[in-house]
């Protein structure tokens, strides 16, 4: 695993200890099988965004704390220039750019996401997390498996959903680029 994954794993383990929680408690509250959670904490497995978001929520921190080791500091507003958001990859198929990573006490987590085209329209593990989500497709075409339903989006299409419904995204024909806003 990469040093970045191991660093995030270390932060999670340290924060869990500080919170006085067991691995079993964090795994259960974040909806992650205990074996998978242990692999996350040791850096043996890469995190899905949903699982990382859920762990941050359970530990009472911003996802930026886990990704960067720094707590968001800005209030009032944050200006993010084109291509300058906090870039991170969660699994090979998704590339995220957090657009407000340094804003304190966010009510929503806005991202630009690129879903890589791999020629497959099935097989990804669906994930769920707390809150709601709004996805707006900017470029490409995308299939979203949402609670067992297949939804197809083209540029300008959007979907708003309860993000506790298991969901997975697939690019159709080429990479798909979309805005994702996770609302807490």
Bridge partner list, 162: 132
Domain boundaries, the chain: 3-68, 86-183
Taking 90 as the threshold, does the pLDDT of residue 176 lie above it?
Answer: yes
Contact at 8 Å (CB) between 99 and 80? yes
CATH topology of domain 86-183: Jelly Rolls (2.60.120)
Quote the mean pLDDT of the chain.
92
Specify the CATH class of 3-68 in words: mainly alpha
- Tens of pLDDT, residue by residue over 62-71, are 989 998 999 9
Question: What is the per-residue pLDDT across 74-132, written as a single tens digit (0 to 9) for each?
Answer: 999 999 999 999 987 766 678 899 999 999 999 999 999 999 999 988 888 888 888 99
Residue pLDDT, tens place only, 43-58: 898 888 888 889 999 9
- What Å distances lie between residue 145 and 150, 157, 171, 178, CA to CA? 5, 15, 12, 15
- Residue 117 CA to residue 127 CA, distance in Å, equals 19
Burial (0-12, 13-18, 19+ Cβ within 10 Å), 28: middle
pLDDT at 91: 60
Average pLDDT of 145-160? 96
Beta bridge partners of 182: 109, 133
Task: Please tell me the predicted confidence (pLDDT) of residue 157.
Answer: 98
- pLDDT in the model for residue 41: 93
pLDDT number for residue 90 = 60
- 86-183 shares the fold of 3-68: no
Taking CA atoms, 155 is separated from 35, 104, 137, 139, 179, in Å, by 39, 31, 5, 5, 11
Which of 50-59, 134-143, 173-182 comes out lowest in average pLDDT?
50-59
pLDDT of 31 over the 80 cut = yes
Q: How many whole angstroms separate alpha carbon 21 and alpha carbon 72? A: 23
Contact 30, 60 (CB under 8 A): no
Classified as helix, coil or strand, 33 is: coil
What does the alpha-carbon distance between residue 12 and residue 67 come to, in Å, rounded to a whole number?
Answer: 10
Query: What's the gap between Cα 88 and its chain centre?
Result: 10
Across 133-155, average pLDDT: 97
């Amino acid at each position: 695993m990469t040093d970045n994954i191991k660093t995030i794993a270390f932060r999670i383990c340290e924060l869990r200890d500080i919170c006085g929680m067991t691995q079993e408690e964090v795994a259960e509250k974040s909806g992650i099988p205990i074996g998978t959670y242990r692999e996350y904490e040791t850096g043996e497995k890469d995190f899905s965004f949903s699982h990382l978001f859920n762990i941050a929520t359970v530990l009472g921190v911003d996802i930026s704390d886990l990704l960067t080791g720094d707590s968001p500091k800005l209030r009032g507003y944050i200006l993010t220039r084109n291509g300058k958001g906090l870039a991170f990859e969660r699994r090979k198929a998704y590339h995220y750019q957090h657009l407000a990573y340094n804003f304190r006490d966010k009510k929503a987590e806005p991202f630009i996401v690129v879903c890589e085209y791999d020629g497959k329209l099935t097989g990804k593990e669906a994930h769920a997390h707390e809150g709601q989500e709004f996805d707006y497709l900017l470029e490409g075409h995308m299939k979203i498996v949402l609670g067992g339903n297949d939804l197809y989006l083209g540029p300008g299409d959007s979907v708003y959903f309860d993000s506790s419904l298991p969901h997975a995204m697939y690019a159709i024909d080429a990479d798909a680029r979309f805005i994702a806003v996770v609302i807490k």
